[in-house]
Every structure is written in C-alpha cells, then in structure tokens.
Structure 1
Amino acid sequence: MTGGQIFHEMMRRHGVKHIFGYPGGTILPVFDAIYNSKYFDFILPKHEQGAGHMAEGYARASGKPGIVLVTSGPGATNVVTPMQDALSDGTPMIVFSGQVATAAIGSDAFQEADILGISRGCTKWNVMVRNVAELPQRINEAFEIATSGRPGPVLVDLPKDVTAGILRKATPTGPAIPRIATYANTDANHKLLTKSISHVAKLINTAKKPVIYAGQGVIQSPNGPQLLKELADKASIPVTTTLQGLGAFDELDEKSLHMLGMHGSAYANMSMQEADLIIALGARFDDRVTLNVAKFAPAARAAAAKGLGGIVQFEILPKNINKVIQSTEAVVGDISENLTHLLPHVNRTSVAERQAWFKQINEWKAKWPWNAYNRDERPHLIKPQYLIEELSNLIADRKQETIITTGVGQHQMWTAQHFRWRHPRSLITSGGLGTMGFGLPAAIGAKVARPDALVIDIDGDASFSMTLTELTTASQFNIGVKVIVLNNEEQGMVTQWQNLFYEDRYSHTHQRNPDFMGLAGAMHIQHRRVSKPEEVVDSLKWLIHTEGPALLEVMTDKKVPVLPMVPAGSGLHEFITWDAHKDKERRSLMQDRTCGLHG
C-alpha cells in the first residue's frame, strides 16, 4: 500500500465520515488515494481557514475529532488560526498537512514551511512522519492525543515521498499507544481522590450560599450535564455557566443564574461574589469570568479562611489547578467519574432550606433582569436583542435539535444573553481566542455532523465578512445552514469600547459592506432583508422553514451597547447595566480603564 492508501485505510478504521480540506501539490498522493472513497465524504471549502473552522464546528457538534487535510506552505499556515482556536477552546481536531519531500526539507523548496515549528505553540502535539512504515502509528497517536484528557488540535506533517512511498507489509492493527490513564488510576491517587471528595461533600453539606460555576468541561464529559443537574437538584444549588458552558444546565430551571462574567447576568456575578462556596466544574477561571482577580469571590475566600467554604475546582488537567485562582480543594479527573463519586456523599437539601439565599438571588433577578435593554429608544429600528429573543421563542419546541453558531463581537454576547439555552452542544462559538469569521464555517461543519439539526449562524456584518466566501461551500454541497447577519455597518464591540474609553474616537471601525443580498444571490443562496421591527417574526419564520442554505440580513439599530458590562480592572460585582441611564456616569466610571480588544 502507498502512504496515501494507508491514510485512507486508517481513516476508515477510525470511523471517519467527513474530511474538510483543500488539495495542493505535496498532498496529492493522499487526495488521489481518497478519490471517490465510499467510506467518507470530502467537503471542499474556499479557504483552508474555512476548513479548520468547519472541522471545529463538526467536532463541537458531534464530540468526534474534526479532520483537516491540506497541502504544505500556505495551505498549512492558513490553518494556524483554527488550530489555536481549537487549542483555546479544547476542541478535538486533527490536521494532516502535506510537506515537501524529505530530501528537500531545509532547501527553501517551493511551498516549504516549517509547520512543526510554526504549530508547536498552537497544538497539543505535532509530528513529521519520516517514513511510510511509521504512518499507521502516527495516525493512531494523533487520534489518541486529540481526544484524550482536555481535547485539542494535533498536526501530522506528511512529506510527499512518505505518502507516495510503498509499505510492503500489512498495516498494523489496533492503537499504537495505550489509553492515557486517568488521575485516579493508581492506589495513591485513589486515596487522594477519596479524601478530596469527602472534603468537598463536607463543604457542600455545610455551605449556606453555594454556587456551581460550570464550564465546557461539563459538556465534554459523557454524562456531565446529567450529573450536574443531579447535584444541583439534590443540594439545591444555583448554577451559572461560562460562555462555552451554555447548555450544560437548563436555563428555564429556577436555579439557573445564566451566564456570568464581563457580559454575564448581574445576578450571576453578584452570586459569585457573595457565595460562601464556589464549585467550579470544568471551568478554568479565565479573565472574562474573574475580571480583577484580587476582587474575585471575596465571600468564598473569607469562608475558606474560617474553614467553612471556599473554592472547589473539578478539573481534568492538573496543570490548570491554581493556575489563576487558589482553590480550597481540587479534584482532578473526568467530571462524570468524580461527580459520580461525590453525589452519594451530598446531603439532600431543599430550596426551602436555602430560602434566604434564593430570596437574595431572586431580588437580584428582579432588579437586573436579562431583558432590561432600552426598547423605547428609536422604536422604529430593530433591536438585536429583540430579534434573538424572538428566534428563541419561535424554536422553543425544537431546541434539542437546534445548534447556534456565532462569530465574535456584540452579536455573540447578545446571542449568549438573550437566547434561552437548554441543551448541551447547542452553542458553538469561539471563546478563548475570539476569532472573528468563525460562525459561518463552524455552522457548515456542525450541519455536516448533524444533518437533521436546525443550524443557525447568528453573525455580525464585520465578523461575517471575514469568511463569507464559504457561502459558496454551503451552496455547492447543499449544506442547509441558516445565516442571520445583524448589520449595524460597524465593528460593534470595538466601537462600544471606543465610545466608553476613547471619547467617541471611532478609529477605523466603520466600513462599507458589500450588498449582502446581491452577494447571496451570486452565490446561489436564498436571501431576504428585514429592516422593520414588525417584520422580524415573519422573516425569522421564512428563514427557519426555507429548504437549503439561506441568509437573512437584519438592518439593526446602531450604537446599541452590550450590557451588563464589567469594565476592565473592576471586580465582578462592579458592572454597568441599563439602569445606569446616564452616559456621563458611565464614562466617569470607565474613563481611566482601557483594554485592548478585537471583536
């Protein structure tokens, strides 16, 4: 078998059903081998970055690694952003890149690039295959490493003479390396785990004001969402989620605090600041959640000093323990395994027994509701929050079969805030890296993974413009994604910061968009534009029920801020809401706080 044929065989053995990529000279032996394969489909994007984000969307929707196949040089470097995005968000992705023949490496050959060196910082692992005999082992390793522990991207570099070379013995069967052991697989670690679980249970059973802070790790763990619900129900603990954790807990549950953080709900932020016990499940305390670390969780820290509470961290990677916040107790390993150990030791506690805590939370909810945005100002214009609320209402009975993707910017935060999240893997967005242009290709990948799902990309005009050529990919392969472009004709999140921090100096954040309707028509995409609030519902119904790919452009009100907002350098409780009706007060609060932003 040639190296290309070995690649095809190994993809078959690993159950690969779809590959995203773009051909080129150094990877042609592989493309020739997979020509007309009956085992998997190939999705050809318009740009390798699109292939990478499609693979991310595929992985996030299915839980299986997304596969990317590209050529050397620019083909490989174009996937660097998706690889870093996948690393930041813990997405399993395997990139196979072509490379010049081994004899030409280092000679500055045509389309040669040191992709191993380039990708070392944005992958979990990378390797160059030096001879055809080691190819099966390296592919097995790639699948193992991409999906073990905290998932992430890996890269396998394939010189052309390796993929064109011939292996004269049978392809090895079975995995090349053993499954990576869990933290609790040794006797010593088992004893440590038992001790930690016992301590956590004691803290939960004695806490007066506990909060569960759930991240994407809950969604990625096989039974994470179900076990999270069991813990929250049994101990009557309110739950807040990160952006990537949305869907881990049903937001219609009375215990839901919705999303926390810089643009999180005021009541989630207040709960985190006043809780005597914070139970972090698969969440990494990133800066968009903690804000000013010195001001984070003062009540929990005070309780920890008295031995009555603190911060408990359930984390799959030991290196993430105490990385940002000092924890009172840490439990390392898979969330599902460790919650299964914990639950029998947790006392059943009713909401009534936590009456004072829930009373306080409900007062915060009444004071600062999610939907407190200004509806009366310029009522003839479409408020983006209103459109997202109406979309959420229209598909309320089919959310288990719905996936929402977004780009990055204001539209991303409005979507997180005003859509009601009820099921895991229903939101796919770029969190850690904040990659504009992510939404459309991620939606295509998600739709390929789950063809029966309703997949909607809620995008902004600036973010959408970065990868809009992938509309032709949706058209070519009849991938029925729905796209909503919230068009305010500016880079909304950046202009919001320029308004608040830079005295309305809008430096290079307004742009002339193409005619999105004409563009969609040229790409054979069904399209419609809406500019009046009274036409929003009918337009959304059209989008939802249209067969095949479709685009809805929404002309929205401009200079609408995303609120609540915690200014840079502030504590989680020092947020600005719509109640701060005075721009002067808002600017006075924030005039000395500046922070870089792209989105």
Structure 2
Amino acid sequence: MQLTGSEIVVECLKEQGVDTVFGYPGGTILNIYDALYKHSDEITHILTSHEQGAAHAADGYARSTGKVGVCMATSGPGATNLVTGIATAYMDSIPIVAITANVAKSGLGKDSFQEIDIVGATMPFTKHNFIVKEIEDLADTIRRAFTIAKSGRPGPVLVDITKDVTANKTEYTKQTPKAIEPYTDTIKEEDVDKVVELIKESNKPFIIAGGGLVASGAQDEFRKFADIIDTPVCDTLMGKGAIEGTNARYTGMIGMHGTKASNFGVTRCDLLIVIGARFSDRVVGNPNSFAPDAKIIHIDIDPTEINKNVKTDASIIGDANEILKRLNTKLEKQNHKEWMDEVGELKNKYPLALDKTTLNGPSIIDALYEITNGDAIVTTDVGQHQMWAAQFYKYKETRQLITSGGLGTMGYGVGACIGAKMANKDRICVNIAGDGCFRMNMNEIATATRYNIPIIQIVINNHVLGMVRQWQTLFYGKRYSNTVLDDQVDFVKISEGMGAKAYKCTTIDEFKNALKESIELNIPCVIDCQIDSDDKVFPMVPANTSISEAFSEEDLAAKGYDC
C-alpha cells in the first residue's frame, strides 16, 4: 500500500513493538507528529520538557527493559539537544534509536533555517547513524537502525530524515522483525578450554561483574558460574544486580569508591575473571599495579576491548550468557574455602560506614532500601549520591540501578526515571539526585506531573557540588572554587509550582515518613533532604593510583588530616 514517509515511520515503530516514544515536536518533524497523532491509541508519546530529557527517558526505558528506547526531535537545536543523551547511551552501550527530521533535501548545505548536520555531529558517539534523503530507503533504514541498536554490543543509532521524505509517498509492505541471535561465531572452543584450565589451576579466583552481563541477560548463568568456581564477586557500577547485594559471595563495588574488600581482594587474587567490563580508569586506577599477582581472563562481546586497557592472559569473545553456559557445562565444582574465608575477613574488617541516626547520604539510601524491600528501580544523577546509591542499596537483580556510568551525565536522572516508570508501571521508581544535578533537569518534574507519572524524586541537598567539593577538600587545599550553591532556591516551592507533592526533611525519621507517604500517594513526589555540606564518599582511591591504596575517613584521621 502507498504511505507517506511519516506513516512509514509509525508503521515501522509498530513493527518493532514500540509502545512508547519520548520527544519534542518542531517544524521539520511535524509530519511525523501528525502521523503519531493518528496512532495515539497504539503508541504513547511523552512530551518532555526538553529534548535532552527525551533522550534520557528513552535510555531509562531501554536500561530497565533491555528493549530499544525511542526518542524524537526536530532539526537544528532540537537535534543537538539530544546529543548529550545519545553520548550517554553510547558510553554505556544502551540501545536507543533517535529519530530526527532535517530540512528538505533541496535545502541541505544552504544554511537553511534550523539546518544542522546532526549525522556528522553524532558520528563519534553513535553505533551507527543515517540520513534518509529518498523515501524508498526509509523503511529499510529504520529496520536496520533497530537491528544495529540491539545486536552484539548494543548502542544508540540515529536516523535523520529530510522533511520532504516525511511527506512523499511510496509502497510499504509490513515486515516481521527477525530475532536477534546472540553472538556465538566468535566463541572459540580452544579459548573456552584455556579459561577452564586457568580456573582449575587457581586457588584464589575473583570475578568482576560488568554491564555486559546485564546486556546479555546472563544473570542466572552468572550466579551459577560463581557458585561452581566458589569465588568472591565484585561489580562495576554498570554490573549492579548481576549477583544479589545480599549474597555471601558479594564484596561490593570495585574501584575509586569501591569497598576495601573488593579492592584489596582483587589485589591479592591469583586469577581475575572480568566479564562484560572494559577496565575503565575508575575501576582499575593505575593499570600497572592492578591485580599484580593475578592471571587475567577477559570475557567480552567486543574484540576491541581485549587488551585495550589491561593486558590479559586469556579471553573469550562473544555473548556473555552463551559463554557462561559453555563454561558451566565444562567446569566441575571447585572448593576455595580458605580464600573465601580470607575475603570474608576483609568484608568484616572493612565494612562501609553507616550512621543510621542522622540524615546523611548513606542513611537515606539504607532507609530507601528497607522501605522498598530492595524491589525499587533506582535511577540516579552523577556525584556523591550516585556512589551512595551504588554502595548502600542491595540490588536483587539486573536492570534495577539505572545510572550514567561512562559519561557521568549530570541531569540524567529525572528523564531516565520517567522512562523506567513508563516501562515498569507496577514498580516503584525513584530518582536520586544531588542539588547540583537536580537544577539541571528538574524541569522534567513538569513532565511527570503532566502525565501523572508517579516517580519519586529524592534530592540529597548539601548546598554544594558535593563530589567536586570532596576533591577540593582532599586535593586542592579546600579552595572551594564555584562549588558552593548558597542561593535562595527552594526545591519544595519549585516542585509544588510544577504540580508535584513536595517535602523538606532534616531528620531521618522525617525522610522515612515522607518516603512512605510518597509511595502510598502514587503521584509525582519530591523529597528535599538537607544534609551536611562536608559529608563525603568513602572509601576513595586517588586518581591514577593503585586500588590497593583505598582509604577511609578513619585512615585520614589516623594521619592527622582534618577533612
């Protein structure tokens, strides 16, 4: 049948099972929005307050489900406002498709009104991108975009469509998407056998669980694998939930703000198995002193990650779930009781500091965990609150922590929380932000109230840019250059002005009561938690130093340092 380009866009979204789109209309994309209007009973469109919020919402939808998230924007500033969200998804390997419209083909290259080369602009941080100038190419391009976004190592794909293509007509035939098969061709039997032998020879193995385990849906096989080889497990920020936060094997996060048990344990191990992680600088610290006594096994779907940051002794390239299935069938049950006891002693000796009597970052996250029974989907912005959310909420499963890891995007959280809630209407969805981050995206509270999307926003408000101030305290002689937010902004009044229920808390009991009421009300709520400006995240590893140098506040006090 003959359809316009705009109708083809909508039909292709329906082919892919898309039920929700996040975006903001404008001149060049109006035809597509007109087609969406006619299909509003099949595809829900969420009008965000800013295009960046739309990109983050699509990202949150994707992270919480494993499906492809979709966002839309018009040409020029609409498209460029998506850039930060696209880059955020790229750094964390998140499958989103961003659809933009550009000026007509005849206007390209002429500095037409709101013309921008968004394909050129996003080329360095998309998995692939397209510009569609002929309507005959449109349907296949959109289908390819979805396939690319979710196959192999996932990532964002941008499709830019000239306005004339959205108006022209061509023949459209519906297609059923082919199933995306896991990458197995690269899994070599000799690589698997080598890994099996290294595991059998090891007396002190340790596992780092990364985001690739989440992307591949390998939670069950991974937990079985850890039990078979009888090993402690730590995770990266992106690997949260691969193993339960309450599991006896779990030692906490590794890296700059990882636990001492994880950092010291990895330093002492004789075999380090890294699955679906890329040895980022925040995990490794100084690569020359990382896991100095260990042979290193790297399992990853992307061959370019092997030996990129850390030299490995063995590797397997392919889908983590498929690889773990093969390893689990070849391995016999191991027994490393002495090593597990040694690491257990580290956990007992170096617990995370938690004061439950006052209102502080850790106590807020701990109370959130207790009140939600560990079942909430938690989104965060970036900074101290993000690290506390990683440290103190005990995630039961993958896709529970939704956070910007690689790019570290302030302003990510509210949009991502809206996206997660739209995909998980029966789950409690909570965004945790610092006051600095909340300033960057609090306009999306208006989006939540417009559609009555019942998210809970917790602002950990210390009236400073907390993580930057922490660095200034420890490494810059307490010179607080432009990190003090000592203005008259009242988040309660602002939130109420956008239609949300809002609370201000100064004690932990006030917070608990506000959180319980927010859950019961099931409407958009904002909880402004006033904490001390000098609260810090510990442990900490200085940049580019060995993770074995992790220090706590007590370590600094013992050296006479007042922080």
TM-score between the two structures when normalised by the length of structure 1: 0.91
What is the aligned counterpart of 2:14 among 12, 15, 20?
A: 12
The Cα shift of 1:220 comes to 1.2
What is the aligned counterpart of 2:74 among 71, 82, 104?
A: 71
Q: Distance in 2 between matches of 1:556 and 1:516?
A: 14
Query: What secondary structure, in the 3-state scheme, does the structure 2 residue paired with 1:35 have?
Result: helix
The residue type equivalent to 1:364 in the other structure is L
User: 1:535-554: CA deviations, max 9, x gaps?
Assistant: 33222222222221111111
Q: Does 1:525 align with 2:511?
A: no
Q: Which residue of 2 aligns with 1:391?
A: 368
Q: Distance in 1 between matches of 2:179 and 2:360?
A: 50
The Cα shift of 1:365 comes to 1.2
The Cα shift of 1:277 comes to 0.5
Q: Distance in 2 between matches of 1:93 and 1:14?
A: 12
User: 1:423-462: CA deviations, max 9, x gaps?
Assistant: 1111000000000011111000000011111000011111
What is the aligned counterpart of 2:56 among 38, 45, 53?
A: 53
The residue type equivalent to 2:544 in the other structure is G
Q: Does 1:424 align with 2:398?
A: yes
Q: Distance in 1 between matches of 2:239 and 2:461?
A: 27
Q: Does 1:268 align with 2:268?
A: no
Q: Does 1:463 align with 2:437?
A: yes
Does the 8 Å CA contact 2:15/2:174 hold for their aligned counterparts?
no
Q: Runs of 5+ in structure 2 lacking a partner?
A: none
What is the aligned counterpart of 1:577 among 520, 537, 552?
A: 552
Does the 8 Å CA contact 1:521/1:527 hold for their aligned counterparts?
yes
Within a 5 Å distance, the mapping from 1:141-152 to structure 2 comes to 141-152=144-155
The residue type equivalent to 1:503 in the other structure is G
User: 1:311-339: CA deviations, max 9, x gaps?
Assistant: 11110011111111111111000011111
Within a 5 Å distance, the mapping from 1:165-564 to structure 2 comes to 165-167=168-170, 169-171=171-173, 173-174=175-176, 184-185=184-185, 193-222=188-217, 224-300=218-294, 310-349=295-334, 353-370=335-352, 372-373=353-354, 375=355, 382-396=359-373, 399-400=374-375, 402-511=376-485, 512=487, 514-564=489-539
Does the 8 Å CA contact 1:212/1:278 hold for their aligned counterparts?
yes
Q: Does 1:29 align with 2:31?
A: yes
Backbone CA RMSD of aligned residues: 1.7
What is the aligned counterpart of 1:96 among 92, 95, 99?
A: 99
The Cα shift of 1:184 comes to 3.8
User: 1:504-533: CA deviations, max 9, x gaps?
Assistant: 110001122521111111111011111123
What is the aligned counterpart of 1:41 among 34, 44, 59?
A: 44
The residue type equivalent to 2:377 in the other structure is I
Does the 8 Å CA contact 1:489/1:513 hold for their aligned counterparts?
no
User: 1:202-237: CA deviations, max 9, x gaps?
Assistant: 111221000111101111113x01011101112211
TM-score between the two structures when normalised by the length of structure 2: 0.96
Q: Distance in 2 between matches of 1:542 and 1:205?
A: 53
Query: What secondary structure, in the 3-state scheme, does the structure 1 residue paired with 2:432 have?
Result: strand
Residues 181 and 485 (structure 1), Cα distance of their counterparts in 2 relative to 1, 3 Å cut: closer
- Percent identity for Structure 1 against Structure 2: 40
The Cα shift of 1:585 comes to 5.0
Does the 8 Å CA contact 1:273/1:296 hold for their aligned counterparts?
yes
Q: Does 1:134 align with 2:137?
A: yes
Does the 8 Å CA contact 2:56/2:419 hold for their aligned counterparts?
yes
User: 1:161-197: CA deviations, max 9, x gaps?
Assistant: 0101111x2336355xx87886543xxx56xx11111
Residues 395 and 194 (structure 1), Cα distance of their counterparts in 2 relative to 1, 3 Å cut: same
The Cα shift of 1:273 comes to 0.7
Does the 8 Å CA contact 1:144/1:179 hold for their aligned counterparts?
no
Q: Distance in 1 between matches of 2:157 and 2:36?
A: 21
Q: Distance in 2 between matches of 1:15 and 1:76?
A: 24
Q: Runs of 5+ in structure 1 lacking a partner?
A: 301-309, 589-599
Does the 8 Å CA contact 2:15/2:176 hold for their aligned counterparts?
no
